[in-house]
Amino acid sequence: MTERLLRLWERPLDGDAEAAFREVYADPVRVNGGLLPVSGLVERARALHTAYEGRVTELVDEIETPGRLVVGFRMRARHTGPLQTPLGTVPPTGREVVIRVTDILTVEDGLITDIWMVADELGLLLQLDAVRAAEGVR
C-alpha cells in the first residue's frame, strides 16, 4: 500500500487522475477531521506538482497493522512555482527543500478512509525564507 500511495502523489497527473485516486482513497476521505472529495485530493496533488520540480520521496519509516498505516517520509524537491501556505502564497524561490511528513491512515476494504497528516510547514517556510526565526533561536 505504501509504495502505491507514494507513487500516486509523485507521478504526473494525466488521464483520469480522479479514477487513479479512487483506487487508493475512499470518496470522500476524512482529512484531519474534515471530509474532502477525491477531486480535492487531486487539486492538492496538482498544487504540489505546480510548486515543486524534481520531487523525490524518501521513506523514513512505516508501520502497518490491520486497518492502520503510519508513514513517515521526507519529500525533497526544488521550489519552482507558487506555493499556497497557511501564511499566504510563497513565490518561486528556486531553492531545494526537504519537507518532513507523517501520515496516519485508516484503511478499510483496501481504501484509505481517514488521514491524519502532519507536515513540518514551519521548517519549510524557514527554508524558503518566508519566515525568520527569532534572534537566538536555532
Beta pairing class for 111-119 and 25-31? parallel
Phi, psi of 119 (to 5 degrees): -120, 150
Whether 132 is covered by a domain: the verdict is no
Whether 45 is covered by a domain: the verdict is yes
Q: What is the pTM of this model?
A: 0.90
Quick one: cell of 35?
471530509
Whether 51 is covered by a domain: the verdict is yes
Whether 134 is covered by a domain: the verdict is no
| The total number of structural domains that make up the chain | 1
133: β partners:
none
pLDDT of residue 135: 80
Whether 36 is covered by a domain: the verdict is yes
- Structural domain harbouring 98: 2-127
Q: In 3D, which of 95, 97, 105 has the Cα closest to residue 123?
A: 97
**Contact present, 81 and 95 (Cβ < 8 Å):** no
Side chain identity at 97, as an amino acid letter? V
Whether 138 is covered by a domain: the verdict is no
Q: Identify the CATH number of the domain in which residue 15 sits.
A: 3.10.450.50
Whether 137 is covered by a domain: the verdict is no
Whether 99 is covered by a domain: the verdict is yes
Note down pLDDT in tens along the chain; length 138 residues. 999 999 999 888 888 999 999 999 999 999 999 999 999 999 999 999 999 999 999 999 999 999 999 999 999 999 999 999 989 999 999 999 999 999 999 999 999 999 999 999 999 999 999 998 888 766
pLDDT of residue 14: 81
